[in-house]
Structure 1
């Protein structure tokens, strides 16, 4: 028998598309763009106020949430339960393709421009946690890299791809949709499908990731236009910026329409190979020995002061501009990143998922920041002002172009960085377009038209916003920190539910002891009674099952 609630929910879904979620999300983006164009100063002031209050009131909560997520994820990976596998089939993607898609989705333009600029900012002005550090010293270089690792390292990756992905995959196995609302399954059970709270969770998470994706698209137009002007002498005007965004949007749209199995994974692989080639080029043309020492020194400081820097609260103004901003940004991305990772991770074990999201990618990210940012610091030490001068004068894109200019084959290296940046942002755009479209549908796979519409919509929004300068783009990117307030609450149940879910999965699969020989495992799995008994005894500990019952 169909309940009134089910009938009401069904009336809002046509052809698999949730009209309320899709309409409100797209309408919110359109309204923001129109308001920003009509009154950029007013909108900028509102966003600035909301940003300040969100960072002040919730910043410490975000730090604790991300720190706890990392600790719980690593703790789970060390248990025997982590041998539990999601699904019964073999992994859909090989390891290289799988990790490439995960890494390229997060890094976006930050993989190039922030990797070059952020270490330089911290090198020139030591973060307050570290006190007075002599500018120009090796200690300053290590501190600068360590602080960048805090923002882009273990905590960022853990919140994006570990516990939330576990909860979503478990919820999908229980018949829930591949949507952000399934993060609330441990609390609401099956009611999350039709609950207004579930719809609100979808909308908030979509708006957050749209803000976080349109921002990099817009900044890409500004940054690549500046780079083309530096390398080829092209005019740094709106027409060039618009052309860059058009190319990026077209690439992302074609990629997302072709699907995960073709376009998205292909673009990610190309991205990774180009990044590796550029990294090798910078090491050979610069100083591999300096970068290696900088990485070891910076990573050593990062690990030594891991707790202190992650939970530092001594300078609220500095925190809101750096640590809290980045943490809020990654939180805003987390639900839809978890959806994308859940989509591509069937067949993997829990340990494999955690290690390949919360351990290996952050180490690789820290190495990349050391190669690019460390080389910039080396050039700055050799010729003070070589990188910091253009950075202070022209902003983020000037840092990476200055580093390229300081190396042999500067034109080729600079062009490579511009192409890599476009591919990074295109990969993020296609992956997030896929996840957004999936969040707007009741079907297992979002239609190609819906995926393309979201890619084109975000590209169009970026094109309009940069027409009024970088103020509109900055406001929208800052808005993701405001949306991180409700998103942070949506992610909280995962910290407590993921261990219970993993333990239950392990029990159902016969993985119950710290040490288990092959013979014991075979006996356990071949006997349905003990397995059933264990599963039954642990069913009550699954919060989702308890609520839904």
Structure 2
């Protein structure tokens, strides 16, 4: 049985209306919007920060437990063989989260932690002893726990409800362990879950689009002297919209996976180039030692509740950001992972992708740290004066062939954000229809909508872009509640599928809803 899917007009109108109101209020009184966002942000970080820490840690630990258990053999999506080859699959996964921090955060965050070590470690700021804590904190913020929340337990639950049960692929599926199939039938709670998920990811997507315009505008000015003006920024956003629209129009199996493969290939080329031209042994040695430092202190970092102001700037902010992305990323990873086992899914998302991310952060950020050690102020100075884009350009400026490498970074950044926009536009269309192959017009419409709103925000002012970016942390509060049932729901459905696939012969555990005769026939 497959539930007939149509566009959910209520969810479309409410989520679209809320985003429109945000833009209107920003035009009328941006200061008021910023104040509201900052107040809500502080409230969210203070009262939900500890919960988010526990949620992400539990999500990671339970996922690893499933992967190493007998349930790791369960094959997902009702397919005997994977739809995508391993490289294509990993490439598309990498372009979901790494796109957000692939270039500018990779250059600037390790440097920020180096010149001011995280408060949970001894203060060895700006010294050789401070390198490992700086890199380890960056690894943690973009590593195992961050990746796991985007596409492990939630993805397993989504794949079960959609591909095995024939129910719509929507964020409300995360509430299936609590409400059963009722959550899919004219449910106010279900519609609310879909709305907050769409609003959260829309905020998290329009922020990077706006920042892309600002960052590439700075880079083009640095390299070619092109004026870094509003017109330049909007032209960059327009180019991104064209790339993303073409990609999403041709579908997941063509445009999106092609763009992902190309971008991962370019990123690997840049990484190898910097590794050869930069401080090779420093990068390799510090990647190994910082990885060990992270593993040694992982639980300390995961559960730290000391300096609340610092947490709000770093770990709690990132956890809120990634939680805001989580429902849509889970949908996207579910769509590209048919035929994979639970073990393959969790190892790819929770282990392989974070290690690749950590190495990339070491290549870019570690190079910047080595330059800073040898010449204090060479990177930290421009970073403090002009922000993240200046850090990347300053690092490239210190390397042989730096001009060409800087051009490569700008291209990779444009394509990285394009892959985010096309995959998010696809998942929003899926959330509105419940179909994993939504209408092409709806997919392209959301790309164009994201681009237009981002251009308007840029026109209002840079602070409006920051405000909508920070609002994702506010929307992460309800999203984090929606994600909670996936902790036990994924285990329940893994157990049921193991029985169905003959991996185990045990009876489903108490609390797992027994399928009716009608459901079994479906």
Aligned equivalent of 2:33, options 40, 43, 56:
43
SS in 2 for 1:130: coil
User: Partner of 1:179 in structure 2?
Assistant: 170
Matched, 1:402 2:372: no
Mean Cα displacement is larger for which, 22-31 or 50-59?
22-31
2:1 corresponds to 1:31: no
1:92 is aligned, of 61, 74, 83, to 83
Structure 2, unmatched stretches of 5+, are none
| 1:81 aligns to 2:71 (yes or no) | yes
- Report how many residues are paired: 513
Q: Determine whether 1:142 maps to 2:132.
A: yes
Give the structure 2 partner of residue 157 of structure 1. 147
Match for residue 212 of structure 1? 204
Does the CA-based 8 Å contact 1:187-1:543 persist in structure 2?
A: no
1:282-321 paired onto structure 2 within 5 Å: 282-321=274-313
* Corresponding residue for residue 106 of structure 2: 115
Displacement, 1:63? 0.4
Trace 1:491-502 onto structure 2 (pairs within 5 A): 491-502=483-494
RMSD: 1.5
Residues 353-362 or 29-38, more deviating: 29-38
Q: Is the counterpart of residue 168 in structure 1 residue 158 in structure 2? A: yes
CA contact (8 A) 2:84 2:336 kept: yes
Does residue 1:66 correspond to 2:36, yes or no?
no
Which residue matches 2:243? 251
Contact persistence 1:539–1:545 (CA under 8 A): no
Deviations 1:361-403 (A, max 9, x none): 0011000000000000011111111110110000011111111
Please name the residue that 1:392 is paired with: 384
- Contact 2:116/2:126 (<8 A) preserved: no
Any idea what SS the aligned residue of 2:228 has? coil
Work out which of the residue numbers 433, 439, 463 in structure 2 matches 1:471: 463
The answer as to 2:333 corresponding to 1:363 is: no
What CA distance in whole angstroms lies between the structure 2 residues aligned with 1:405 and 1:166? 45
CA contact (8 A) 1:189 1:545 kept: no
Identify the match of residue 188 of structure 2 among 196, 201, 209.
196
TM-score by length of 2: 0.96
Evaluate the alpha carbon distance shift between residue 543 and residue 325 of structure 1 in structure 2; reply closer, same or farther with a 3 A threshold. farther
Match of residue 364 from structure 2: 372
Q: What is the CA–CA distance in structure 2 between the aligned matches of 1:63 and 1:230, rounded to whole Å?
A: 39
Shift of 1:109: 3.8
Question: Does 537-546 or 483-492 show the bigger shift?
Answer: 537-546
Q: Closer, same or farther in 2 for the Cα pair 1:412/1:19, shift >3 Å?
A: same
Q: Output one character per residue of 1:471-499: Cα deviation in whole Å (capped at 9) or x when no partner.
A: 00110010000000000000000101111
Q: Retained in 2: the 8 A contact 1:187–1:493? A: yes
- Paired position in structure 1 for 2:497: 505
Q: Structure 1 residues 539, 130: CA separation in 2 closer, same or farther (over 3 Å shift)?
A: closer
2:331 paired residue number: 339
Segment of structure 1 superposing worse, 292-301 or 160-169 = 292-301
The structural deviation recorded for 1:22 is: 1.1
User: Which residue of structure 2 lines up, in the alignment, with residue 488 of structure 1?
Assistant: 480
Cα-to-partner distance string for 1:334-364 (whole Å, 9 max, x where unaligned): 1110001111111000100100111100011
Aligned-partner Cα distance in 2 for 1:540–1:309? 35
Q: CA deviation at 1:58?
A: 0.3
**SS where residue 34 of structure 2 aligns?**
helix
Tell whether the 8 Å contact from 1:497 to 1:543 is kept in structure 2 after alignment.
no
Cα deviation code 1:210-237 (max 9, x no counterpart): 0011000000000000000001111111
Structure 1 contact 185–544 (Cα < 8 Å) conserved: no
Between 429-438 and 503-512, report the one with greater CA deviation.
503-512
Determine whether 1:237 maps to 2:229: yes
8 Å contact from structure 1 (residues 189, 544) kept in 2: no
The 1-side partners of 2:479 and 2:146 are apart by 15
- Deviation for aligned residue 1:544: 7.7
SS at match of 1:128: coil
- 1:3 aligns with none
**TM-aligned CA deviation for residue 261 of structure 1:** 0.8
1:54 partnered with 2:44: yes
Contact in 1 for aligned 2:153/2:487 (Cα 8 Å): yes
Larger Rg: 1
- Partner secondary structure for residue 340 of structure 2: coil
Instruction: Report SS of the residue matched to 1:538.
Output: coil
Is 1:542 aligned with 2:512?
yes
Query: Does the 8 Å CA contact 1:162/1:358 hold for their aligned counterparts?
Result: yes
Asked if the contact 1:99–1:356 (Cα under 8 Å) also holds between the matched residues in 2, the reply is yes
Residue deviations 1:96-115, cap 9 Å, x none?
Answer: 00111011011224110000
Question: How far apart in 1 are the matches of 2:123 and 2:63?
Answer: 34
Q: Secondary structure at the match of 1:467?
A: helix
Kindly indicate whether the alpha-carbon contact (under 8 Å) linking 1:278 and 1:413 is maintained by their aligned counterparts in 2: yes
Q: Is residue 335–residue 436 contact of structure 2 (8 Å, CA) maintained in 1?
A: no
Pairwise CA distance, 1:543:
4.2
- Give the C-alpha shift of residue 296 in structure 1: 1.1
CA contact (8 A) 1:187 1:544 kept: no
Q: Secondary structure at 1:497's aligned position in 2?
A: helix
Compute the displacement of 1:25 (Å): 1.2
